[in-house]
Structure 1
């Protein structure tokens, strides 16, 4: 058996990635392209979508749609574009999400709570419900990967709306794995830990401000809670998504895979 071939997704996969024009989503998109996939992304950031066509970050194998993932009409428009650009779908990566507010439960505004639920959870339902009929038509079945978080297996004080959505995503993935297994559609969740990059820098800064300590001290507190004493990279997250979409992951469904350096507590 050629085990090296098992580790790479088959060439020509048709992939949709939400929140895929920057950050982790773009890294995942570029990783799929490196294996010969055709990728369509959606993102609320119009400039990031436009940048996909530039020589620096773009690829002829990546197309995009500007969309608010919490808006049902926008989601429908994304799938219209997917059908036109890709002609079908083999893999859905539900990646879009926001950090949500930082604060005690009695301090969080209801609008901020609801916006976090809309983007981090409801959008996953909107996209999955439209993707499943297309995945059923894919040769050899399909793949759905939900982006959860280590906050989806640990309590996360002062980040309750974010943590609540990430726990819910695990339940959604496990339930859909049962529901769609007979259609040979595998469903899993990836739980990143503290991912190095601008988004985590913003989270650390917000928590440091709340506690009235320096950014450096707050960052050190986060790293002390990780067994490997380091943040994970976007590339490590992308590699885990490729694995779950590859023949090597063909028997894996209904699982929540933590890629976090073993975060012990939050």
Structure 2
């Protein structure tokens, strides 16, 4: 049975991915900082409280995975936070650092420790969670954008390094994904721009060719594809799941 680790997998996109992988027959291990949400995971899923940006915690996590599973087939480096919404001249440095730590450092640490399990096996798949913000930018979201661009650069470098060892790496770049997290993002952006949340949401939707927001299931479907043999020649790619965004400033 194949195995998958999903960081920040106890809610939101991560949980939908976890359920999709479980439904496809994978053994699923998820991490999260929310012990309460981990306690509600579906039966059969393994869960650990772990901050993706904490290297000692990540080291211990992967040691446990190695001891219990003996290896890892798929990594979904999904952990991320939205970070502050502010004009660049008002940006708080501590908030900037926190956003990059979770979104970018967390992805690097996951890849670092997953590589140590995958290289001896001569196979594996790493899926990094970026964003359309990592492709186009986004006003008032400088830390998040910088982190998500960084994730794509990290992924491409990992794909080059680990490809000779049979390991593929790709990044998923969701657009605005329906759920509580985007609601918070929209509320913060509306306040920063002096708009109503409904106007911002409509702007997000109208800025795509399909005129709608992405669902978490769309992202999970892409993750399953990238982990599959059908994607055996797909590596080093940043793949948008966004309904074709062409206007990112509502």
Q: Same fold (TM over 0.5)?
A: yes
User: Secondary structure of 2:183's partner?
Assistant: helix
Alpha-carbon offset, residue 81 of structure 1 = 2.6
Residue 171 in structure 1 maps to residue 153 in structure 2 = yes
CA distance in 1, matches of 2:153, 2:168: 14
Match of 1:224 among 206, 210, 215: 206
User: Secondary structure of 1:153's partner?
Assistant: helix
User: Secondary structure of 1:137's partner?
Assistant: helix
Q: Over aligned residues, Cα RMSD in angstroms?
A: 1.1
* Corresponding residue for residue 64 of structure 1: 47
Structure 2 gaps, min length 5: none
Structure 1 gaps, min length 5: 1-11, 53-57
- TM-score between both structures, scaled by the size of structure 2: 0.96
Residue 44 in structure 1 maps to residue 26 in structure 2 = no
Match of 1:113 among 83, 96, 100: 96
* Corresponding residue for residue 17 of structure 1: 6
Query: 1:136-155 to 2 correspondence within 5 Å?
Result: 136-138=119-121, 141-155=123-137
* Corresponding residue for residue 208 of structure 1: 190
Q: Deviations over 1:181-212 (max 9, x none)?
A: 11010000000001011000110011111222
Alpha-carbon offset, residue 73 of structure 1 = 1.3
Runs of 4+ with >3 A deviation: none
Query: 1:156-195 to 2 correspondence within 5 Å?
Result: 156-195=138-177
CA distance in 2, matches of 1:117, 1:195: 20
Q: How many residues align?
A: 248
Q: Deviations over 1:94-133 (max 9, x none)?
A: 0000000001111111110000010000111111111102
* Corresponding residue for residue 72 of structure 2: 89
* Corresponding residue for residue 216 of structure 2: 234
Residue 125 in structure 1 maps to residue 108 in structure 2 = yes
CA contact 2:209–2:244 (8 Å) conserved in 1: yes
